Structure 1
Amino acid sequence: MALKQAIAPLVDLVYPPRCPLCGDAIAAQDGLCVPCWSTLEIPEPDPQRPDIVAATLYTDTARKLVLSLKHGRKIALATMMARQMAGRLGALEGNWLAVPVPLHPVRLWQRGFNQSALMARELCKRSGARLCVDGLKRTRQTPSLGGLGKAARAEVLEGAIAANPRRKAELQGASVLLVDDVLTSGATTNACITALRSAGARHIRIVCFSRVVEH
């Protein structure tokens, strides 16, 4: 961390900080300009799902950030996004594990990183949770869920996510932060929760950068 802070001015000199959405000059490498920042929408707490912590609603701005991270390979955005997630999460009591939603090994190889794992790592730095990066695994590769209804998504994901046998001792009785970039229909999240509960997780909270709200 000290080295990172020491070379930050040099990095800023060579690569002046720019807003990842509009390209305007900004003060730090991991932020947004004020106009873009103002377009992010913060969700109200959901009394029906108090275990869900979302930093933003899935607006056009949030979508661009997520896609810039996942497909634009702007992995520095994970720091900013996790910072917002940590702010919404608040202080944690007791010991927590941060478990990212997993990618299938083929998808991970193609992309080069798991964006949820990057967020989970940064979230741990700010929340005091302990990272369990491989707590869950994909048992088979599934097709894209885009365009599918809620029931179809659940069917595709049935049995596709399981607890990692090597981590079952850690998951047994654990309090878990399930970390994802976007919560849409909840099919992937529910599959992860089922797997975590089967491994004996005691408490599960969902922490995501952005949440799709159905109207």
Structure 2
Amino acid sequence: MRMQSVIRAIYPAQCVACDAQTESEFGLCGACWRETRFIGGVICDRCGTPLPGDTPDEMLQCDDCMKVARPWDHGRAALVYTGVGRRLVLGLKHGDRTDLARPAAHWMARVVRPLVQADSVLVPVPLHWTRRVRRRYNQAALLALALGRVLEVPTCADALLRPKKTKPLEGHSRDARFAALSGAITNNPKRAGAIAGKSVLLVDDVMTSGATLAAATEAAMQAGARNVSIVTLARVAKDA
């Protein structure tokens, strides 16, 4: 404890979003907390996006999920992909901010815990090997491993593979995203036992159209998953 006090005196705890001093490690300062849109209340049961209303226990779907077939059962997201939330996702994804996986896991656990079942296993959305080498890590795998520790749920980081290299999908239409992801994700035959007969919770950093998560869900179902739900750190929302 004395050593921790000395270290804290030399290196005060800082906000993970802006470096302002905070009372505890891996947290947000008051200003960033107020600017971060945490998702709660009424949500879409399929993707986790916030919805208007005052009956949070009602199972509703957003316009996107009513128009586009979702192969998974339920979906949850911790943040709206805007402002500080967007900055955190981009920092984790492109800025070598691997430390963000720790607080993100606690935020994600808050929304996904009700979906955890006795046979649940966490599975991250995979990256193509060339992108993983360039980035040096898969941000979805970091989130899944950290979330597994918080929830005390097993994680299989390589249950799915991405043998097909796709171009970055930012700015593409929904149809273009789904076309690009067709056949891009498969199950790993060496890890089939980790998925078969299990309740799979797919983990990713952000959901936009849902094309990547749909491809990953289909691969998990082909591997024998009993059911599949999704959880993301952030969700792109139309009103963001």
Structure 1-normalised TM-score?
0.91
2:82 matched to which residue of 1? Answer: 59
Q: Which residue of 118, 142, 159 corresponds with 2:183?
A: 159
Report the Cα offset of residue 8 of structure 1: 5.0
CA spacing shift, 1:9–1:179, aligned 2, 3 Å: farther
1:187 match: 211
Deviations 1:80-104 (A, max 9, x none): 0110000111253312110001111
Task: Point out where structure 1 has 5 or more consecutive residues left out of the alignment.
Answer: none
Q: 1:37 aligns with which of 33, 38, 54?
A: 33
2:151 equivalent to 1:127: yes
Structure 2 alignment gaps of length 5 or more: 45-59, 66-72
Matched letter for residue 23 of structure 2:
A
- C-alpha separation between the residues in 2 aligned to 1:64 and 1:19? 13
Aligned residues: CA RMSD = 1.9
Question: 1:12 touches 1:29 (CA, 8 Å); kept in 2?
Answer: no
Q: Does the CA-based 8 Å contact 1:193-1:204 persist in structure 2?
A: yes
Aligned to 2:12: 16
Q: Deviations over 1:97-126 (max 9, x none)?
A: 100011111111111111111111111112
Alpha-carbon shift at residue 42 of structure 1 (Å): 2.8
1:32 corresponds to which letter in structure 2? L
Q: Structure 2: how far apart are the matches of 1:194 and 1:23?
A: 40
Task: Sort the Cα spacing of 1:175 and 1:25 in 2 relative to 1 into closer, same or farther, 3 A.
Answer: same
Does structure 2 retain, via aligned residues, the 8 Å contact 1:99–1:177? yes
Question: What residue identity is the alignment partner of 1:73?
Answer: D
Q: 1:111 to 1:146 in 2, by over 3 A?
A: same
Residue deviations 1:135-154 (CA, integer Å, cap 9, x gap): 11101211100110010001
Shift of 1:6: 8.9
| Bigger shift: residues 89-98 or 117-126 | 89-98
Identity %: 38
Separation of aligned partners in 2, 1:6 and 1:113: 35
Contact 1:174 1:201 in 2 (8 A): yes
Counterpart CA distance in 2 for 1:198 and 1:6 is 53
Decide which moves more: 119-128 or 36-45: 36-45
Aligned to 1:111: 135
- Runs of at least 4 residues off by over 6 Å: none
Tell me how far apart the structure 2 counterparts of residues 67 and 132 of structure 1 sit (CA, whole Å).
Answer: 24
Instruction: Answer yes or no: is the 8 Å Cα contact 1:98–1:176 preserved in 2.
Output: yes
Instruction: Give the TM-score normalised by structure 2.
Output: 0.82
CA distance in structure 1 between the partners assigned to 2:230 and 2:76 by the alignment:
6
